[in-house]
Structure 1
Amino acid sequence: MAVFECDVPAGAKVPVAHSHDGYEETIYGLHGVLTWTIEGAPVDVGPGEVVCIRRGAVHRFDNNGDGDATVLAIVSPGVLGPGYFRDVAAVVHAAAGGPPDPTDIAVVMRRHGLTAVP
């Protein structure tokens, strides 16, 4: 398994719905509330709450609150690692403050076992 902490600023939206066939993802809320949309159904995850995302389920998340949110993400088996986040950060950095190129993001996602869903 792989475990990572994810900080999500207030008002952040992750517009790229995606799925992954190689692993399950469990989200455990630490601080604030994130709204996860899984197979079209919204689920709020706050401190001490958990949601499990099965392989192949299309999902995305938003921080609709006024404060930042933090979650632990547990990926099993641990096939998603730090390289994914470094690669995404490189695409965001290359955008020089503008929106990142969605095609470049999709390429990084595919390389790491995620499938973007329009």
Structure 2
Amino acid sequence: MKKETIKAGQITIDFLLEAADTNGAAAMFEFTVPAGAKTPLPHYHEHYDETIYGLSGVLTFTVDGKITDINPGETCFIPRGVVHGFDNLKQNDAKGLTIITPALLGPVFFREVADIVNQPGTPDLKKLGMVMAKHGLVPVVPKR
């Protein structure tokens, strides 16, 4: 059962489970990425792992420098400390299911990000970085 829907920029997050539902063991949400959507900077998580399961469309993940397309029914495991990011490079919307273990990331993070990125104009990257740090995400600026 869907608990909460959060729209952060062009990405929609539908929370299914959070820490209170699983005694802190796991959080789970679906996320929809429109074709060509702006996506978060590459980052890593300090204290939790992330597993992605493709539901529809194709999500292109870069994990530790390796590019992987995740099609429906395919999975990708991202251990804590590993730099990763994602894009939707195809012509159709893509949807994935994310499981966070343990449940150290929840709806509060996405609400705080939405408050920043949903404002008119360019998002305040300093505020965004502070929200990420508060929730255990470390942004990694790509090398040019």
TM-score bracket for this pair, using the shorter chain length: over 0.9
1:15 CA displacement: 4.7
Secondary structure of the structure 2 residue equivalent to 1:16: coil
- Tell me the distance in 1 between the aligned counterparts of 2:40 and 2:112: 18
1:13–1:61 Cα contact (<8 Å) kept = no
**Which blocks of at least 5 consecutive residues in structure 2 are unaligned?**
1-25
Secondary structure of the structure 2 residue equivalent to 1:7: strand
1:103 CA displacement: 1.7
Identity %: 51
Is 1:108 equivalent to 2:131 in the alignment? yes
Is 1:86 equivalent to 2:86 in the alignment? no
Q: Which residue of 2 aligns with 1:59?
A: 84
Q: What's the CA shift string for 1:35-56, capped at 9, x where partnerless?
A: 0001111010010000000010
5-14 or 26-35: bigger deviation: 5-14
1:9 partner amino acid: P
- Tell me the distance in 1 between the aligned counterparts of 2:70 and 2:35: 14
Secondary structure of the structure 2 residue equivalent to 1:42: strand
Is 1:99 equivalent to 2:104 in the alignment? no
Correspondent of 1:19 among 44, 50, 54: 44
Q: Which residue of 2 aligns with 1:70?
A: 95
Q: Structure 1 pair 78/15, CA: closer, same or farther in 2 (3 Å)?
A: closer
Moved segments of 4+, more than 2 Å: none
Q: Structure 1 pair 99/67, CA: closer, same or farther in 2 (3 Å)?
A: farther
1:19 partner amino acid: Y
- Tell me the distance in 2 between the aligned counterparts of 1:52 and 1:13: 22
Q: Provide the alpha-carbon RMSD of the alignment.
A: 1.0
Secondary structure of the structure 2 residue equivalent to 1:14: coil
The count of aligned residue pairs is: 116
1:33–1:44 Cα contact (<8 Å) kept = yes
* TM superposition score normalised by structure 1: 0.94
Is 1:28 equivalent to 2:64 in the alignment? no
Structure number with the bigger relative contact order (C-alpha 8 A, sep ≥ 6) is 1
